[in-house]
Amino acid sequence: MTQARPLSLITGASAGIGSAFARALAAQGHDVVLTARRTDRLESLAAELRASHGIQATVLTSDLADPHAAEQLCATLDQRGLKVDWLINNAGYGVPGRFEASDWATHADFLRVLVTAPTELAWRLIGSMRERGYGRIVNVASLAGHVPGSAGHTLYAASKAYMIKFSQSLALENQTTGIHVCALCPGFTRSEFHDVTGTRPLVNKMPGFMWQSAEDVVQEGIKAVERGDAVYVTGRFNRTVKSVFKLMPDKMALRMSAKQSRRYRTQD
């Protein structure tokens, strides 16, 4: 079967950056496959995109904390004859508090959603992209992956640093294949993320210039992956932060990170 339009698979599509990616790519004429845990939200978004853009929107409810989720998603796509051109690895969340404050099952689920599942989806889909000589993979990382780790939310920055390095290597491996891979690194983004982690009262104290909308992040991300940028930090403020920390001695950078993280991380 030949697809008339590009097809984008978007994880974590029910809200925030994920739904913004779905809307932006549908507006560009992409068919979309939307996946997340909340079926009602996905169905509502799918109906909106079909009505607004006349594209095909497929809902595949999935919990990427399930060790078999990525394999099952790709098997369903194969059964339906759907070939993914754009993979948006966006699903993610934070686990607040100290490392030992949560049980291991909580951390294991987190690692599957933010590290294992996006890596496996890329592995399962990139072969078909190479056969067709075209593909785009956006791994939604974070500015947190470029700066020293913080106390609290212990695995978050570590998982995002992994996605940055993974994206760089995958981009290099595919320089001549027609596949572009980009680690997209936003900073503070207006979404439900901080409501879910319980840090909304803290982050609401942050000045407005530190924030971006999900729509702005996505527009920068689409341009970056099309250019072939292996890593892209969104927003001038975030790029300045990255540069400042890169120039600092490690001990000074860690002290500054410790001081600043108390403003927006739950550490107890």
Catalytic residues: 156
The answer to whether 135 touches 126, Cβ cutoff 8 Å, is: yes
Angle at 265 between CA 14 and CA 208, to 5 degrees: 70
Q: What are the tokens at 104?
A: 């291991």
- Residue 199: name the closest of 264, 267, 261, 144 by CA: 264
Residue pair 91/11 in contact (Cβ under 8 Å)? The answer is yes
Instruction: Bin 81: left if φ > 0, else alpha if -120 < ψ < 50, else beta.
Output: left
Cα 183-185-191 angle, rounded to 5 deg: 125
Beta strands 57-59 and 31-35, pairing class:
parallel
Neighbours of 206 (CB within 10 A): 14
